[in-house]
Structure 1
Amino acid sequence: MPKVNRIASRLEDLALPANSVAQLCNVATERVGTVILTAPSGTDKTHAAEVLARVMGCDLMHADLSHLVSPYIGETEKNLDRLFAAASASGAVLFFDEADALFGKRSVVKDSHDRYANAEVGYLLQKIEAYSGILILAAGVRQNLDSGFVRRLRNVVDLSWPPKSN
């Protein structure tokens, strides 16, 4: 007989540290801002985002980085504009998995590629600040994220086991 995985339908059903579940419940109640879920790979951050959106009564719109990031100047920004507009129009929760790949630390500018990469991160920060919907980001390592970005976050939820003390 095939194994059937139980899909959590309540935040309390997630196998997460109690303080993480409490933070997610708070996010679901507030229904505002940006939340980042941090934990190592395999911690099921995506499932936590799905349950959080379900609890809020919203669809979850996955941002596919392979379709967003373009090597052509200006195309990544256009793709982000379309994504944020679609999420806003639908009322869905916007979800960026592997956010540390897109929201990574800005580097010292050594050439035009660095300058453009830094400009993309800056543009994305502006889009997030202007976005009135709910945004969930999943990142493996918080320290890899741009500090300017982390400062703008209202909720940072660490899903790691064992729970880290603050």
Structure 2
Amino acid sequence: MTDQTRDRDRGADGRAQNQRPRDRYGRPLPYGTPGVPRIPDDAVFAPAEGLAEAQRLLEQGYAFHAHEVLEAVWKAAEGPERELWRGLAQVAVGLTHVQRGNALGAARLLRRGAERVSEYGAAAPHGVDAPGVAAYARAAADRVEAGEADRVDPAGLRLVRDPGV
């Protein structure tokens, strides 16, 4: 074991796990610094629960943390719906890059996520508004590329269709 691997945070199972506190944008902070509560690495979310929690986090401006929730659902998903969750997670991490000022990474991930999500169309499972998410992500990518990242608000993303529609 090298010094580098020995110094890494590890979970109870010995797997690498970063335990450093993070800021609202998911950037690591020095140990001992108060940070934003994190989504545990072993968190499990049912689809409806994950969508509700991710939406709540997006509305509060916590795109990185919403990404972690969506990623947890993606990792647990099976079959063809797995790529939907991957796309949703990519859109959320694209928004994280917007918040961190990484325009190139933001636009790429927003577009990649939009493409994945759009393939599900209006029939996306769990009430996911795939067309709406894809349109939001593409518009956000356009704004970022136009130098208008300050006009991209994670709270504007709606993951689920309006039940009245």
- The structure that is strand-richer by fraction is 1
| Higher-RCO chain (CA-CA 8 Å, sequence separation at least 6) | 1
Query: Which one has the bigger helix percentage?
Result: 2
